[in-house]
Amino acid sequence: MSAEIEFPQLYLVTPPEIELMGFPELLAQVLDTYDTACLRLTLSTSDEDRIMRAADACREVAHARDVPIVISEHALLVERLGLDGVHLGDGARRVRATRDDLGGDAIVGSYCAASRHDGMTAGEVGADYVSFGPAGATALGDGSRAEPELFSWWSQMIEVPIVAEGALDEDTIRALTPVTDFFAIGEEIWRSDDPVATLGRLLSAMRG
């Protein structure tokens, strides 16, 4: 008998703007439909009250389904809001200090763009996972991306779990399935008319 293939897990990312009248219900529908390893709250606002209210709503939905929730950047809000950890967007710079502040039980993730060096440093100083991206082709920024070779090298050489994110489409997911542990999927689905169906199409690409 051949061994069962282990596919990457879903790491769900919220949209940058959340309407609290409707989003929690949609989030619940997505989490009830697809196994999700983690939820990341990533909002574009700097309004503390809006962030806290969104975090409360998303935490309630996620924890009811045993899905951990992390927040982008705002490490000081993790314990205050009963969240499970933080996702840092500036490579390895704050990982060690954040780990010291939040303790060993908190999730601390690090986005390292396409820098192998930053990823290795983040893992060495306490990151639970390292995220590389954008993994897909994009015209945003300078157009650079985290190439498949980076994911392939990391999966062979480094034990710290790896996340692929940014501009994900079916072709990119299909190509990276053998060499990543998680796909961070967010705006790829939320900007569509049917996020649940769109997510299903993306996840199905893992199976070729």
Q: What is the pLDDT of residues 146-171, one digit of tens each?
A: 999 999 999 999 999 999 999 999 99
pTM confidence score:
0.95
Task: Please tell me the CATH code under which domain 9-207 is placed.
Answer: 3.20.20.70
With a cut of 50, which residues of the chain have pLDDT below it? 1-2
- Could you state, in order of their start, the residue ranges of all structural domains in the chain? 9-207
d(CA 147, CA 151): 7
The one-letter code for the residue type at 139 is A
Q: Could you tell me how many residues make up the chain?
A: 208
d(CA 53, CA 48): 9
What's the confidence (pLDDT) of residue 143? 80
- Of 38, 37, 7, the closest CA to residue 179 belongs to 7
What's the confidence (pLDDT) of residue 1? 40
134: alpha, beta or left? (left if phi > 0; alpha if psi -120 to 50): beta
List pLDDT tens digits, range 113-128: 999 999 999 999 999 9
